[in-house]
Structure 1
Amino acid sequence: MPESVPASATASAPARSEASETLRFLLKLALVVLIFRSFILAPFSIPSESMLPRLLIGDYLFVSKWNYGYSRWSLPWGIPIIPGRIFGSVPARGDVVVFRSPEAAPGDTDPAHGDHDVIKRVIGLPGDTVQMVGGQLVLNGKPIPKQRIADFTLPLSPNFDTRHCDTQFQDVLNGQPICRYRRYRETLPGGRTYSVLDQRDIPEADDTGTYTVPAGNVFLMGDNRDDSADSRFAPPIGMGYIPLDRIEGRAMVGFFSTDGSAEWLKPWTWVSAARWNRIGEGF
């Protein structure tokens, strides 16, 4: 006669099996997300105004990860399981890239310095010379065309308020407080063109020595030239030259943008805070 199985055992077995399957599913899902984020596409949010006018605080975009190869910085938290750089290639001048910032100097506790993701535009490639003369970019000894175009205006909002816009640039347009900056169009060799801002004359930013980009590095700048800690300045003030293996990917397309007025507990404000006209903008 078959031995009977206690009811408690038969009842608990399916429960344990279901929990095990759920755990396996979650682990597989996490692995797929990790692989996708590390090697295909990753989200990135804009925390500062250094890339105005192209990128606003509160923009969210996808970064493609395959363009320049892979290194440890392709992985979340810089997990060191990729030796050096594989499938590497050099960005094109004018590309907007996300990279891992240089490490902070010993004893430097400023949270703005050290390990974090940053977004800038590629200006100089290995072997190039870069200089700023009177606010004009000079690349390999040739001034880059800089054409004055219409002012850039940006409405003041919770994530871009008077703390980000000096009094001299504040204005009112159609009853709306705005920030107004001088805007120019630069055109790189080969025809790549983009807009930059020039807020004021700053000698250390607008008139520099000549930089020669070392092998294996690139020279990056923010489009908001007077409000960008970039390759023009050595750490800890700026970024200096950026090694190619620290570049994580290329900015691809914006998928959301908010002016910062949304509240988590009020879902209807998520809609009113969205800047819908910025969604889907490519690079």
Structure 2
Amino acid sequence: MEFDFSAILLALTVLFGVVWGLDRLFFYKKRKARLDATGSEYVDPVAVDWARSLFPVVLVVLLLRSFVAEPFRIPSGSMMPTLDVGDFILVNKFAYGLRMPAFNTKFLDLGEPKRGDVVVFRFPGYLCRRPDGSLIRVGGDEGNGSPAVGSEQSCPSTMLPVQNQNWIKRVIGLPGDTLEVQGSDLLVNGKPVQADEIGPFVGNPQRDEDRLMLDMGATVWTEHLVREDGKVVNHTIARMPAYTTPNSIPNPVVPSKVPPGCYLVMGDNRNNSTDSRWWGCLPEKNLAGKAFMIWMSWKGWGTGGVDFHRIGRIIH
């Protein structure tokens, strides 16, 4: 099961608050009066003392993580070269509205994602077709590589529950947009998305993710994604056609036109990303926030350690 730190923080906040509050309402005065009558120094019971001390600390952490910024760690190479495995990022939790901790229910709308935003979200599950033709969301894991072409890998079982996982991708299509994806060719609303080749991918062959890209002859490109307001988002992507051929859009479960309340997202590592090409659109209700900065980058013992050059980098 996915470790849900927000749910644990919420539970601890409620627990400490209830223990401290009930004690102050029903037990504190009597206990203090009894100790004063005997001339003893007043001391809270251990459980109450812990609750009183920890409640404000846990509450502040919960509020900061839920409504201001939350840290995440990048676990896979699907966003390389923009985000590397071992990058620790900060996510703006109020960019698209405020949501209830743990439940993710929006109670204040502050905006919507823009084309080119890097977003963190709760994995919605693969969009799979039942024998009767209806579609259903089913579970799956974010691996180092994309699933093979075909429903056998992307839809292993229509009974598999969706796991509670946080994923990160780039928004390519907004509600109402028309997308066409064929290999490395990407068209948004009928206009090709331009990209300029920078050169071969350069990495550390001692790291698994880098070695895969080096073995597959990955190249790095600057992609120019045009936003709805005409602003161009310039960001890096990786291509390695020798590794795998992702699903095209449209396909049997992903239409070319993005439905209302949904977004099409893709990883910057275009041939090694399990994204909307496999599992369909990202529902707006699954959004967690907008990634905006790398605050730490750990490459691992013996394979780079702390990468100080990446610390403080703004995510585009």
Q: Same fold (TM over 0.5)?
A: yes
- The size of the alignment, in residue pairs, is 246
Is the 1:221–1:230 contact (alpha carbons within 8 Å) kept by the matching residues of 2?
Answer: yes
Give the deviation of 1:30 after TM superposition.
Answer: 0.4
Give the deviation of 1:165 after TM superposition.
Answer: 3.1
* Unaligned runs of at least 5 residues, structure 1: 171-178, 235-239, 263-268
The separation in 2 between residues aligned to 1:144 and 1:165, in whole angstroms, is 28
Q: 1:41 aligns with which of 69, 78, 81?
A: 69
Match of 2:123 in 1: 101
Match of 2:218 in 1: 181
Query: Where in structure 2 are the equivalents of 1:233-248 lying within 5 Å?
Result: 233-234=278-279, 240-248=280-288
Q: 1:69 aligns with which of 97, 116, 139?
A: 97
Q: 1:255 aligns with which of 295, 298, 315?
A: 295
TM-score for both structures, normalised by structure 2 = 0.69
Give the deviation of 1:115 after TM superposition.
Answer: 1.5
> Per-residue displacement from partner, 1:128-160 (whole Å, max 9, x unpaired)?
011113412111111111211122212134xx3
Query: Where in structure 2 are the equivalents of 1:97-176 lying within 5 Å?
Result: 97-103=119-125, 110-112=140-142, 114-157=163-206, 160-161=207-208, 165-166=211-212, 169-170=214-215
Match of 1:192 in 2: 233
Match of 2:114 in 1: 92
The separation in 2 between residues aligned to 1:48 and 1:187, in whole angstroms, is 24
Structure 2 vs 1, CA of residues 127 and 211 (structure 1 numbering), >3 Å: closer, same or farther? same
Is the 1:71–1:245 contact (alpha carbons within 8 Å) kept by the matching residues of 2?
Answer: no
Match of 2:259 in 1: 214
Structure 2 vs 1, CA of residues 140 and 197 (structure 1 numbering), >3 Å: closer, same or farther? same
Name the aligned partner's letter for residue 201 of structure 2.
Answer: F
Moved more, 110-119 or 134-143: 110-119
The separation in 1 between residues aligned to 2:201 and 2:121, in whole angstroms, is 27
Tell me the SS of whatever aligns to 2:211: coil
Name the aligned partner's letter for residue 184 of structure 2.
Answer: G
* Unaligned runs of at least 5 residues, structure 2: 1-33, 129-135, 143-161
Give the deviation of 1:16 after TM superposition.
Answer: 2.5
Tell me the SS of whatever aligns to 2:186: strand
Name the aligned partner's letter for residue 271 of structure 2.
Answer: D
Is the 2:80–2:238 contact (alpha carbons within 8 Å) kept by the matching residues of 1?
Answer: yes
Tell me the SS of whatever aligns to 2:309: helix
Match of 1:280 in 2: 312
Structure 2 vs 1, CA of residues 107 and 40 (structure 1 numbering), >3 Å: closer, same or farther? closer
Tell me the SS of whatever aligns to 1:215: coil
Is the 1:129–1:212 contact (alpha carbons within 8 Å) kept by the matching residues of 2?
Answer: yes
Tell me the SS of whatever aligns to 1:154: coil
Give the deviation of 1:111 after TM superposition.
Answer: 4.8
Match of 2:103 in 1: 79
Structure 2 vs 1, CA of residues 152 and 90 (structure 1 numbering), >3 Å: closer, same or farther? same
What is the aligned-residue identity percentage? 32
Moved more, 24-33 or 197-206: 197-206
Structure 2 vs 1, CA of residues 25 and 140 (structure 1 numbering), >3 Å: closer, same or farther? same
The separation in 2 between residues aligned to 1:273 and 1:29, in whole angstroms, is 31
Tell me the SS of whatever aligns to 2:175: coil
Give the deviation of 1:6 after TM superposition.
Answer: 9.2
> Per-residue displacement from partner, 1:77-111 (whole Å, max 9, x unpaired)?
x336x4x5531422111111101111478996755
Moved more, 53-62 or 145-154: 145-154
Is the 2:204–2:210 contact (alpha carbons within 8 Å) kept by the matching residues of 1?
Answer: no
The separation in 2 between residues aligned to 1:164 and 1:277, in whole angstroms, is 17
> Per-residue displacement from partner, 1:197-248 (whole Å, max 9, x unpaired)?
11115775274426211111111000000110101112xxxxx101112111
What's the Cα RMSD here?
3.1
TM-score for both structures, normalised by structure 1 = 0.76
Structure 2 vs 1, CA of residues 134 and 156 (structure 1 numbering), >3 Å: closer, same or farther? closer
